[in-house]
Structures are given as C-alpha cells and as structure tokens.
Amino acid sequence: MRLTYFAASKPVQSYQELLESVEDIMKQNSQQEPLLSSSHHIDTNLRFIL
C-alpha cells in the first residue's frame, strides 16, 4: 500500500487527486479500496504535501 501512494504521488496535487490516482493503481492490482480518514474535517481540494 505504501508503494502505491508513492507511485501515485505527484509534485502538486490535491487529496482528491491523490485518492483517485491510488484508486486507479489499486484497481489494476488489488481488491482494496483506498480510504482517507481523520478525526478532523479534511478539505480534499487542498494541496497534498508528502
């Protein structure tokens, strides 16, 4: 799973774009569905910084 996040990450992208990229990769290789969880609200339009 960790390698999938690295493969899907780009220099500039939002959380939503990251999840979509991870989902595309995982559809090819796995039955898992990527999820994002937090105890606080996450604006998925914000820039994701790794």
pLDDT at residue 32 in the model? 77
pLDDT at residue 10 in the model? 81
Q: 8: number of CA atoms within 13 Å, CB side? A: 22
Rounded Cα distance between 26 and 34, Å, is 8
pLDDT at residue 13 in the model? 92
pLDDT at residue 45 in the model? 92
Per-residue pLDDT tens digits for 1-50? 677 777 888 888 998 998 888 888 888 877 777 777 889 998 989 998 87
Per the structure, the count of domains in the chain is: 1
pTM equals 0.69
47 φ/ψ angles, rounded to the nearest 5 degrees: -70, 135
Residue 25 domain boundaries: 1-50
For the beta carbon of residue 34, count every other beta carbon within 10 angstroms.
Answer: 19
